[in-house]
Structure 1
Amino acid sequence: MRSEAEMMRLILSVAENLPQVDAVALEGSRMNQQAPLDIFQDFDVVYLVNDKEALLAERSWLQAFGPVLIQQTPEESELFPATLGERFTFLMLFEDGNRIDLTLCPYSELPVLLEDDPFIKVLWDPKEVMPQFPAPSDAKFWLQKPTQGVFEDCCNEFWWVTTYVVKGLCRQELMYATDHLYTICQEELLRMLSWQVGLTTGWNQSLGKNYKYLTKQLDEETNRQLFAMRNFTSYENIWQSLVLTQKLFDKVARNNAAKLGYQYDDQTVAKVLAYTHKWYNNQESIQRGASE
């Protein structure tokens, strides 16, 4: 696997040999002092270009980066359309394990470049065309203390959607049930747990994309429950996951509400829990009816 120094020299060398590239910058986790360093970190590279179309029309210059294992070009995707305006990205995982996310950025996109990623450092700018960027900071991604309204919306969404999970289980629609449980209910649980972290250790921190640093902030028992509730390997396990998810959400939400001085809708929670347990206790008769 090529070293970081080798990759950086290669990134600059390719740019220097392309007349369409006027400057090079590095963004992303490598510019974030809080992000752990490992061999899986991407090289998030920006080429400021004066002629993007020429680089797209003739792409042989990409071969200089080495043999590619797999790549994506989001701006050319029909199923997953990109959202970067006039920018164009080559996402490249190479056979040696290195990965470069290379963005071709026209001058017109410079004003929004920093808005998308505050971690950016100019590496090469012979024409001095790059703006002065502030020091990299993860403040944009810090935890946000919820308002009463945001807290209530989180709780309402969680308890409302758990009834969809119950419905799916009663109908034996396990894909429907687990999709709502995992992508909505447990997502709101992670949001609630992130607020617990903010209340406990402060708001001026980031838990990373998809809450990837959250588990480091939680106690051993909470982490055990978090992963136990992702066991969807059987009908019974999905029910148990729902019950455990509700139990943990209720516990954390109550504690957060008390610390924040917010109202918590105990009446609705009690009714939804009763609704869940009513149908859970009737699951044998439900299964029997479905098989008849």
Structure 2
Amino acid sequence: MRTEQEMFDLILEVAKQDKRVRAVVMNGSRTNPNVPKDMFQDFDIVYLVTEMESFIDQPDWIDTFGERLIMQTPENMSLFPPELGGRFSYLMLFNDGNRIDLMLVPIEEKNDYCQEDKLTVILLDKDNVLPVLPLPTDVDYWVKRPTVEHFADCCNEFWWVSTYVAKGLWRKEILYAQDHLNQNVRPMLLKMLEWQVGIETDFSVSIGKSSKYLEKFLSKENWERLLSTYGDGSYQSIWRALFVMGDLFRDTASFVADKMGFEYSIDEDQRVTTYLKQIKLSKHPYS
């Protein structure tokens, strides 16, 4: 596996040799002082270029970075709509395990781009035209303080969609139930746990993408409760997961409400919980 320094040397050498590339910046985990280093960290690189078309029209120009295991160019994909406007990205995993996420950005966007992410650092500026940037910080990714409206909406969404999960389980539509559990209910539980972490850390930390750092901020008991909500695919395990999620959500939301001066609707909680139990026990709800 090529070393970090070898990768940086290669990335910068390619840029130096190409007149179209006027500057190189980097962001992501490698610029974040709070993220531990490991071999899976991407090189999140941006080439600020004078024009885009010649790069896109000659896709083999990236071969110089090494032999690839697999690559994705999201802006060329029809299944997923482009999200970068006039920018273009190459997501490259190489045979030696290194990965470069390389984005091409028109040089005209240099000032706007450099202000988009506080984790941005400048690696090369051929024309000395980029703005001076402060030291990188992950402050933009810290847990945000909830408003009373966000808190109420989170609670309502959690309990409302819980009824969809029960409906799917009762109908023996396991994929429907799992989808609503994991795509709607679980994110609300994670959001509430995120707010608890924010309160306990004075809203000064990030829990990372997909809540990947959440474990180090939760008690062992709550972490184990959260893990137990990931069922094994059986109806029984999904029912169990749903009720454990309800218990954990209730405890966490009550904590957040108390610390933030919000009101947690225990009546709504109890009504829905009773309904869920009725659905689980009866083949003829409301009878």
SS of residue paired to 2:53: helix
**Percent identity at matched positions?**
44
Equivalent in the alignment of 1:76: 76
Return the alpha-carbon distance in structure 2 between the equivalents of residues 229 and 198 of structure 1.
22
1:240-281 Cα shifts (integer Å, max 9, x gaps): 111111111011111211121211111111100100111112
Aligned partners of 1:59 and 1:279: how far apart in 2?
A: 56
Q: How does 1:102-181 map to 2 (within 5 A)?
A: 102-181=102-181
Q: Shift of the alpha carbon at 1:114? A: 3.4
Q: Deviation digits for residues 198-229 of structure 1, max 9, x if unmatched?
A: 11122011111111111110111111111111
Residue 128 (structure 1) shift: 1.1
Does the alignment pair 1:213 with 2:213? yes
- In the alignment, what sits opposite 2:203? 203
Other-structure match for 1:4: 4
One-letter code aligned to 1:91: L
Whole-angstrom distance in 2 between the partners of 1:59 and 1:239:
50
Aligned residue runs from structure 1 range 1-292, under 5 A: 1-282=1-282, 285=283
Q: Does the 8 A contact of 1:48 with 1:104 survive in 2? A: yes
The question of whether the paired residues in 2 share the 8 Å contact of 1:182 and 1:230 is answered with no
Matches of 1:221 and 1:68, distance apart in 2: 43
* Structure 1 stretches of 4+ moved >4 Å: none
Where does structure 1 lack aligned partners over 5 or more consecutive residues?
Answer: 287-292
Deviation at 1:103, TM superposition (A): 0.7
Output one character per residue of 1:73-108: Cα deviation in whole Å (capped at 9) or x when no partner. 011111112211111100000000000000111023
TM-score (norm 2): 0.95
Rounded Cα–Cα distance in structure 2 between residues aligned with 1:201 and 1:27: 25
CA distance in 1, matches of 2:183, 2:236: 19
The C-alpha deviation readout for 1:11-57, integer Å capped at 9, x for no partner, is 01111111211111111111111111100000011111002111111
Q: Residue type matched to 1:108 in 2?
A: E
Gaps spanning 5+ residues in structure 2: where? Answer: none
1:138-184 per-position Cα deviation (integer Å, ceiling 9, x unaligned): 11111111111111110001000000101111111110101111111
Task: In structure 1, give the amino acid aligned to 2:255.
Answer: N
Residue 39 of structure 1 aligns with an amino acid whose one-letter code is: M
Give the Å deviation of 1:126: 2.1
Q: Indicate conservation of the 8 Å contact 1:178/1:232, yes or no.
A: no
Give me the whole-angstrom Cα distance separating, in 2, the residues matched to 1:84 and 1:118: 18
- Check the 8 A contact 1:87/1:109 in 2, yes or no: no
Q: Residue 73 of structure 1 contacts residue 90 of structure 1 at CA under 8 Å; is this kept in 2?
A: yes
Tell me the C-alpha RMSD between the 2 structures.
1.3
One-letter code aligned to 1:28: G
